[in-house]
């Protein structure tokens, strides 16, 4: 299954209130040998290719196929990043003229067996840095989704590195020292000098951590922060990740203004770029907060075989589930839990809401604002309250995750239909999904929350979400299940 580009989660900034034959003209480069096959109506093509990483600015690719072809297409957009394919230049085919049809679209006048081109990987734009390949200084990330033609289905990769460089990935070398890549669009490689790697088994799941740079925390703190989160999500979903997962941490290569970190979870890889001078008061807690969101994406959506635009669930509901996880792990307290939800509500109120969550997901990368995140998170909060109340505390949103992974949906099933079928398990829940997910309409939490023993005042400089002074027995039980101490 190929997860849509959108479904490779994206989240950046700060939340919860914690504030990649050596080239004669280059001294340092990196060599990659590939065996590739292309998918489609035609038979798969196999080839050997040389990809030279010309430090520190570009990738040069020389690829020879076993069978001739005449068209190649590169991804031009990913996670809101446009114009990726514009970095591809000097595209040539052996003994044939090549025309550039559009950005990243190339055609030769007859079938050929060899091509070569360059991909520029100089300093990326700030808004793109966690989503595209780049080489800056003595490190970089190689994301095969934007390095090779998108119709390539499989790769057998061998790396030859410059002196002092190493390379790491969630993909393990075979006995011949090669990387067998079955889903190139999910493959991420971290390369550079002085990469440091540690490994931990978390309830039978292998979790690696690779760092570069100097940090105000110990290397071991990363896995210490990540392991409890992994345990929580294994329990949440009842699904053990089948392959090795990896967290890659590097300094932000460029200034991104007030943003202190950016991240992306692609396939089984978490890429985390942090400003080493961010000045977090508690770095280990900050890592824990980030991991509550990013590590859940290893399960949702990356371990689900669903298709379509269901970003409202794998982003918005993930934000809420991450918040609850941070509370349960005592990374935050109940006051911060409520304060975070109040801040999200303020953000939600700052722009117009005239879309259903499904519609907002469809236009996530083409419309302003963060409706998918904010509204999705608040709807998840309301769903958790509602389902707990109507079931007298016998079920919660967490139970729906276990059901989601226990069901055997067909590969490529529609994500919206699948998720809603799981959420809408009772008449009240079905009414809820129609109202808050499938139909458009604004949220008015100040009107809804009192029934659950909560009060919300949106009239001040910032909204205030508090526990009501007078609680009945059901409200005490409900809020107690959330983590409120009477």
**DSSP line for 220-233:** HHHHHHHHHHHHHH
CA 381 to chain centre: 21
Work out the average pLDDT over 296-319: 96
| Residue 225: predicted pLDDT | 97
| Residue 53: predicted pLDDT | 67
Q: Is position 261 within any domain?
A: no
- Bigger pLDDT: 389 vs 123: 389
- Bigger pLDDT: 22 vs 319: 319
What is the rounded average pLDDT for all residues in the chain? 87
Of 171, 156, 121, the closest CA to residue 141 belongs to: 121
Q: Is position 212 within any domain?
A: no
Of 135, 159, 187, which residue sits at a domain end?
187
Q: Are residues 309 and 160 in the same domain?
A: no
| Residue 48: predicted pLDDT | 59
Q: Are residues 309 and 172 in the same domain?
A: no
| CA–CA separation, 179 and 81 (whole Å) | 27
Residue range 348-359, pLDDT digits in tens: 999 889 999 999
Residue range 440-468, pLDDT digits in tens: 989 999 999 999 999 999 888 999 999 99
Residue 368 pLDDT level (bands cut at 50, 70, 90): low
Q: Are residues 183 and 308 in the same domain?
A: no
| CA–CA separation, 51 and 71 (whole Å) | 19
Q: Cis check for the bond before 56: say yes or no (omega within 30 of 0).
A: yes
> Residue 101's domain is classified under what CATH number?
2.60.40
- Side-chain-side CA neighbours of 397 within 13 Å: the count stands at 25
Residue range 188-242, pLDDT digits in tens: 999 999 999 999 999 999 999 999 999 999 999 999 999 999 999 999 999 999 9
Pairing of β 196-202 and β 245-251: unpaired
Of 135, 152, 187, which residue sits at a domain end?
187
- Bigger pLDDT: 379 vs 46: 379
Number of domains in the chain: 2
Q: Is position 114 within any domain?
A: yes
| Residue 40: predicted pLDDT | 38
| Residue 66: predicted pLDDT | 73
Q: Is position 246 within any domain?
A: no
The whole domain housing 84 covers 29-187
Of 187, 202, 226, which residue sits at a domain end?
187
- Bigger pLDDT: 74 vs 5: 74
Q: Is position 225 within any domain?
A: no
Q: Are residues 171 and 308 in the same domain?
A: no
Q: Is position 286 within any domain?
A: no
Residue 123 pLDDT level (bands cut at 50, 70, 90): confident
Q: Is position 331 within any domain?
A: yes
Q: Is position 11 within any domain?
A: no
Residue 419 pLDDT level (bands cut at 50, 70, 90): very high
Radius of gyration of the chain (CA): 24
| Residue 379: predicted pLDDT | 98
| Residue 112: predicted pLDDT | 92
Reading the block at residue 53, the tokens are 């990483």
pTM of the model: 0.90
Q: Are residues 183 and 317 in the same domain?
A: no
| Residue 59: predicted pLDDT | 80
| Residue 50: predicted pLDDT | 65
Q: Are residues 450 and 321 in the same domain?
A: yes
Question: What's the length of the chain?
Answer: 486
pLDDT surpasses 50 at 42: no
**What are the E-state strand segments in 284-371?**
306-307
pLDDT surpasses 80 at 263: yes
Backbone angles phi, psi at 28, to 5 degrees: -130, 130
pLDDT surpasses 80 at 403: yes
Sorted by sequence, the CB contacts under 8 Å of residue 234 that are 6+ apart come out as: 202, 203, 205, 240, 241
Would you give the DSSP letter of residue 486? Answer: -
**DSSP line for 157-171:** EEEEPPTTEEEE-SS
Would you give the DSSP letter of residue 445? Answer: H
């Amino acid at each position: 299954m190929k997860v849509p580009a959108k479904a490779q989660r994206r989240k950046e900034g700060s939340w919860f209130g914690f504030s990649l034959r050596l080239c004669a003209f280059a001294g340092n480069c990196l060599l990659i040998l590939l065996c590739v096959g292309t998918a489609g109506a035609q038979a798969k093509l196999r080839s050997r290719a040389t990809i030279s990483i010309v430090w520190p600015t570009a990738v040069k690719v020389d690829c020879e196929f076993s069978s001739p072809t005449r068209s190649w297409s590169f991804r031009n957009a990913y996670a809101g990043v446009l114009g990726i394919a514009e970095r591809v230049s000097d595209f040539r085919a052996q003994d044939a003229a090549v025309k550039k049809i559009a950005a990243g679209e190339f055609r030769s006048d007859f079938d050929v067996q060899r091509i070569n081109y360059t991909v520029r990987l100089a300093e990326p734009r700030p808004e793109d840095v966690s989503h595209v390949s780049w080489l800056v200084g003595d490190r970089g990330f190689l994301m095969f989704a934007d390095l090779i033609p998108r119709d390539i289905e499989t790769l057998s990769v061998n790396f030859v590195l410059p002196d002092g460089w190493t390379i790491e990935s969630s993909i393990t070398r075979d006995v011949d020292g090669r990387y067998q890549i079955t889903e190139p669009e999910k493959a991420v490689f971290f390369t550079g000098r002085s990469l440091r790697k540690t490994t931990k088994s978390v309830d039978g799941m292998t979790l690696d951590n690779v760092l570069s740079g100097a940090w105000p925390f110990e290397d071991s703190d990363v896995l210490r922060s990540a392991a409890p989160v992994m345990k929580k999500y294994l329990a949440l979903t009842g699904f053990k990740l089948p392959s090795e997962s990896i967290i890659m941490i590097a300094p932000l290569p460029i200034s991104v203004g007030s943003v202190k970190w950016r991240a992306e979870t692609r396939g089984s890889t978490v890429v985390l770029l942090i400003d080493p001078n961010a000045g977090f008061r508690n770095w280990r807690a900050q890592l824990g907060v980030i991991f509550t969101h990013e590590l859940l994406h290893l399960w949702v959506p990356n371990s689900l075989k669903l298709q379509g635009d269901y970003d409202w669930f794998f982003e918005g509901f993930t934000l809420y589930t991450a918040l609850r996880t941070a509370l349960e792990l005592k990374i935050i307290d109940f006051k911060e839990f409520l304060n975070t939800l109040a801040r999200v509500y303020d953000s939600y109120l700052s722009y117009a809401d005239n879309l259903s969550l499904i519609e907002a997901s469809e236009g996530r990368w083409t419309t302003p604002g963060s409706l998918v995140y904010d509204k999705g998170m608040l709807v998840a909060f309301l769903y958790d309250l509602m389902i707990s109340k109507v079931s007298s505390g016998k079920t919660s949103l967490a139970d729906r995750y276990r059901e989601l992974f226990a069901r055997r949906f067909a590969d490529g099933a529609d994500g919206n239909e699948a998720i809603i079928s799981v959420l809408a398990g009772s008449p009240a829940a079905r009414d809820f999904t129609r109202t808050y997910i499938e139909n458009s309409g604004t949220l008015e939490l100040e009107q809804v929350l009192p029934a659950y023993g909560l009060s919300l005042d949106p009239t001040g400089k910032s909204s205030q979400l508090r526990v009501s002074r007078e609680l009945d027995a059901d409200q005490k039980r409900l809020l107690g299940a959330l983590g409120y101490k009477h």
